[in-house]
Structure 1
Amino acid sequence: MKDLLPPGALKGQTVGISVSDSPDLARLGLLESHVNVVLGEIARVVLASGGSLAYGGHLRPDGYTPFLLSEVQRYERDDGPLLTVYLSWSEHQHMTRDELSGRLTIGSWGRVLCLDPNGQVIPDPLAGRGSESAPRLSPQGQANALTSMRRAMAERTDARILLGGKRARFSGSIPGLMEEALLTLDSMTPLFLVGGLGGVVVDILRALRVDDCAWLPRDLDAPAEDPRLVEGRRQLATARETPGWSGLRNGLTDEENHQLAAAYRPTEVAALFALGLGRIATRSAD
């Protein structure tokens, strides 16, 4: 790994991690703990090379934020927060002052950015909050807030890697990882697609014609597709056909992206990720 991406190669760079529950883990013979191991390897690639991580999610103990925090705590660095957590307006607007205050403190390794409905950082998210919870946003309000958060992340990250992803029971106009893929492509930022854990990343790979993922067994008991999933695939296919399409821009060859599309072993995912980032860093240096 050191030869592919030496220490300091990602200094000043931020990599966005997009991950959510994959409905395909059981079909693939994998456990949720396997996702954490893959995440840990990805985090180490970035942190050992001087970079930092960004994650858009929530601060509840059942999410990926606590795990990512446990990873960044392994590194003794004094060059700023190693993990930035973006909280969309829909995630925090209903919280009381005490509820939010208790979740904003995540140690010196990380920071939490609370965003307003337009995706702008709120300087003092505790100002004006009281002891009563505010009503939650409407489904459309939630979708708009999530889009704003994802756009803000796309503008502040230098690469993004996607794993898993829900095909149903998600908040948004299309599945979250699909929207993040579209925003990353629009910003011409390197995009890494890890398909071996299944989930909506498989749909993204197929829609962008990166890989047909024929290795994924069919789910004969799958429910009818959410129309928003179908719409997400349509938008991705349209992006793929846009004049000037330049691919994933992730430093990997077509064959290497095929390998990443089917990868599920933590070391293989990390090696391909480091290979792509290393090539990009080398080109930038040249």
Structure 2
Amino acid sequence: MGDLKLRPTNALDGLRLGISVSDSADLPMLGLHPHHAELALAEIARSVLLLSGRLVYGGRIKPPGYTQFLLSELERYGAHPDSLTLCLAAPEHETLTVKELKGLNNKLQTRGRVVCLSPSGLPMEMRSISELPEKQPSNSSSYSAMRQYLCENTDAQVILGGQLEQFQGSMPGVIEEAINSIKAEQPLYIVGGFGGAAALVAKTLEIDGFDWAPSNFPIQPDDKRIEDSLYELRSVADKSEASIRCSGLNELDLRKLSATHRPKEIASIIVNGLAAVHSNSH
């Protein structure tokens, strides 16, 4: 399943793919650079958009990063309404003025939209953002609420990279999104070849033992929050493996996806799985 099959341009019409991506501390030991992760993200986004799929991303505007990269891909390939939904957790949109938010929304035009979430994870009207009370719940709960919103408003999830230090929330976001997807029995695609939290998820779920990688891959800091999150991941997966089994991929493809860092191979495996899942649901 390594090659992308020829498919009609509406093969993923209406399918909403959540994407979770952030830098990984493991890139240097693999001889990789953050730009390599950007190339993989671009290939995934391009492949999904060209088949009329939709992208949903929980990101940040400041400092610049993967959000701006996705916006550039949207300008080139987003031909359908709401091709990209950019969700901002409360601590993220609170750093922006209403003028900046409206400018971002206008930049997306009809191809995308910005959803600003309250600390409890509810979509907010743009005019109410400046009227937020001064005292907010912790960042941890705000980010968790955003991740739950993302899960409830997507049909499948891709995780790639992911910080295991200085992460926002009570646990690494990529691990929390994997937990949410498995609980929801949502197709989950784990790109582990860039290390980080995604590789740790693949290792914990025994999709790949990473015998091909350095012995300390992925680097796991001594942090009880990570240990607790992995315990919850194992517990949830023991109760339901539907998230992995319903991905449209066989075990070989799941292992390939967890090991490769080749952008075209990553995108083709994911899109072939998504197309199989999407065709079965219609």
Normalization by structure 1: what TM-score? 0.89
In structure 2, what is the equivalent of residue 234 of structure 1? 231
Cα displacement (A) at 1:245: 3.1
Cα displacement (A) at 1:103: 4.4
CA distance in 1, matches of 2:29, 2:133: 40
- What whole-Å deviation, never above 9, does each CA across 1:195-241 have from its counterpart, x for those lacking one? 11111111101111221122221349x68422111111111111122
Contact 1:59 1:103 in 2 (8 A): no
Evaluate the alpha carbon distance shift between residue 218 and residue 117 of structure 1 in structure 2; reply closer, same or farther with a 3 A threshold: same
Cα displacement (A) at 1:92: 2.0
SS in 2 for 1:119: coil
In structure 1, what is the equivalent of residue 279 of structure 2? 282
- Aligned pairs for 1:1-286 (under 5 A) are 3=5, 5-60=7-62, 62-75=64-77, 77=79, 79-93=80-94, 95-108=96-109, 109-124=111-126, 126-127=127-128, 129=130, 141-219=138-216, 224-242=221-239, 244-248=240-244, 249-285=246-282
SS in 2 for 1:127: helix
CA distance in 1, matches of 2:243, 2:233: 12
CA distance in 2, matches of 1:128, 1:150: 20
CA distance in 1, matches of 2:86, 2:70: 10
| Letter in structure 2 aligned against 1:277 | L
Cα displacement (A) at 1:35: 0.9
Cα displacement (A) at 1:106: 3.0
CA distance in 2, matches of 1:180, 1:33: 23
After the TM superposition, which of the residue ranges 270-279 and 19-28 deviates more from structure 2?
270-279
CA distance in 2, matches of 1:275, 1:196: 19
Contact 1:207 1:234 in 2 (8 A): no
Contact 1:15 1:54 in 2 (8 A): yes
CA distance in 2, matches of 1:177, 1:268: 21
Evaluate the alpha carbon distance shift between residue 146 and residue 5 of structure 1 in structure 2; reply closer, same or farther with a 3 A threshold: farther
SS in 1 for 2:164: coil
Percent of matched pairs sharing the same residue? 36
Evaluate the alpha carbon distance shift between residue 127 and residue 210 of structure 1 in structure 2; reply closer, same or farther with a 3 A threshold: same
Contact 2:205 2:237 in 1 (8 A): yes
Cα displacement (A) at 1:180: 0.3
Instruction: Provide the aligned C-alpha RMSD in A.
Output: 2.3
Contact 1:45 1:270 in 2 (8 A): yes
Contact 1:56 1:87 in 2 (8 A): yes
Contact 1:5 1:277 in 2 (8 A): no
Contact 1:163 1:194 in 2 (8 A): yes
After the TM superposition, which of the residue ranges 2-11 and 206-215 deviates more from structure 2?
2-11
- Unaligned stretches of 5+ residues in structure 1: none
After the TM superposition, which of the residue ranges 224-233 and 265-274 deviates more from structure 2?
224-233
- Unaligned stretches of 5+ residues in structure 2: none
- What whole-Å deviation, never above 9, does each CA across 1:222-281 have from its counterpart, x for those lacking one? 684221111111111111222x43251210001110111101001110111122112112
Cα displacement (A) at 1:95: 4.3
CA distance in 2, matches of 1:226, 1:180: 19
Cα displacement (A) at 1:30: 0.6
Say which structure is richer in helix.
2
Cα displacement (A) at 1:99: 5.0
Evaluate the alpha carbon distance shift between residue 116 and residue 12 of structure 1 in structure 2; reply closer, same or farther with a 3 A threshold: same
Number of positions where the alignment pairs a residue of Structure 1 with one of Structure 2: 277
SS in 2 for 1:69: helix
